[in-house]
Every structure is written in structure tokens, then in C-alpha cells.
Amino acid sequence: MKRIASCVALALMLTACATARMHSQEELNVASLGCGLAYGELIQDEEEKKLLIMFRAAPSPAHRDCVHRWAKKRHLKLVIIESIKFPEETN
């Protein structure tokens, strides 16, 4: 019984220390579509691999929850960019 408890404790410690990996754009697009987002609304920072960035104007609680669950399973921290103002193009 002591040995089983030690194995379970070791497994928990190893999963807590898991490092994030870079996900392909295809994987991110599948997650986007699965959560009701469009292509390109999820990106992963190349320098800070633990950051998953969601670009979406006023994401619904369902969108946030879905992406948060996906990120958490993959040891990523979700960052939400809700509004971006682009300079207007001049012709």
C-alpha cells in the first residue's frame, strides 16, 4: 500500500512539472473550431511557450471556458486579447 501511495505521489509531482510544448497551427485551428472560434484566433507565443493567446472581440463565457479547459490540459496559460484598435487605412 505504501508503494502505491509513493507511485501516485510521484506521478502527481511529474505531471505538475510538465512543460509546455509548441503546438502546430493546425492543432490550434482545431481547438479554435472546436470552441466556436475562427481560424487564427488562437496563437501560441514562440518565446513564452506557456502562453496561449486568444484574439477575440468580446468572447462569450462559453468561448473562454472552452479555450481555458483546452489550455489547462496542455499546461498553457490563457491570455485573452478582447479588443484591438487598428489605425484606419488612409487612401
What was the pLDDT predicted at 13? 55
Residue 30 lies in a domain: yes
pLDDT tens for the chain, 91 residues: list them: 666 655 455 555 555 555 678 999 999 999 999 999 999 899 998 888 999 999 988 899 999 999 999 999 999 999 998 876 767 755 5
Residue 29 inside a domain? The answer is yes
Q: Residue 2 falls within a domain, yes or no?
A: no
pLDDT at position 7: 47
- Of 80, 81, 82, 55, the C-alpha closest to 68 is 80
Domain residue limits at 40: 20-91
The answer to the question of residue 7 being in a domain is no
Residue 70, all three cell numbers: 483546452
| Structural domain contains residue 15 | no
* 8 in any annotated domain: no
For residues 53 and 59, give the distance between their C-alpha atoms in angstroms, rounded to a whole number.
13
Note the pLDDT of residue 12: 53
